Amino acid sequence: MIDKKMEKELNKQINEELFSAYLYFAMAADFESKNWQGMSNWMKIQAQEEMGHGLKLYNWINERGGKAVFEAIAKPGETWDSALDVFKAAYNHEQHITSCFYDLMRTAREVGDIATEIFLQWFITEQVEEEANASDIVEEIMKVQNSPNGMIMLDKELGSRALTAPIQTTGA
């Protein structure tokens, strides 16, 4: 049976992941309204990945004899001044999520939940990629932001992103 404190913290993280999905959907909508279809595609894929992360936590809590609990999701922003601002905000958000997983890891160690500690390693590794993805795009935008052609090319490139794995509905 999962430790109560651990269960509560993991449930809090489900909310963080679903908020991440909300945030990225909001960013996708903002891009779409400004006709940046490729960047919008990138954000929609990201949002779906976040729902997958939420579900992964849900499945884990369930497998360990706990119960997933759903709280209200905060309202994300609606509009950003530039593509650069959007991806900078995404990068900052991912840094925040990384710190959440470090906190979760500390809790797993504190309560002696070795299984959850091992489970959380997947997320810690994933966060390295999540931060790198966002910061790479920030850097690319900084290089091309003053060239309309450069921005169009970048938009095209981000439009090719596809969901790599289907959302897992069972197991951890």
Q: Which residues of 98-107 are buried (b: 16+ CB within 10 A; e: fewer)?
A: bebbeebbeb
Q: How many residues does the chain have?
A: 172
Residue 82 Rama label (left phi>0; alpha psi -120 to 50; beta): beta
Q: Does 131 bind ligand OFO (CB under 6 A)?
A: no
When binding is defined by CB under 6 A, the residue of 17, 30, 113, 140 that contacts ligand OFO is 17
Residue 3 vs 17, nearer CB to ligand OFO: 17
Of 75-104, which residues contact ligand OFO (CB under 6 A)? 94, 97
**Which positions ≥6 away from 22 have C-beta within 8 Å?**
47, 73, 74, 75, 76
Provide the 3-class DSSP secondary structure of residue 82.
coil
Among 7, 9, 30, 130, binds ligand OFO (CB under 6 A): 130
Would you say 52 or 66 has its CB closer to ligand OFO? 52
Question: Which one, 144 or 161, has the nearer CB to ligand OFO?
Answer: 161
- What residue ranges bind ligand OFO (CB under 6 A)? 17, 20, 50, 53, 94, 97, 130
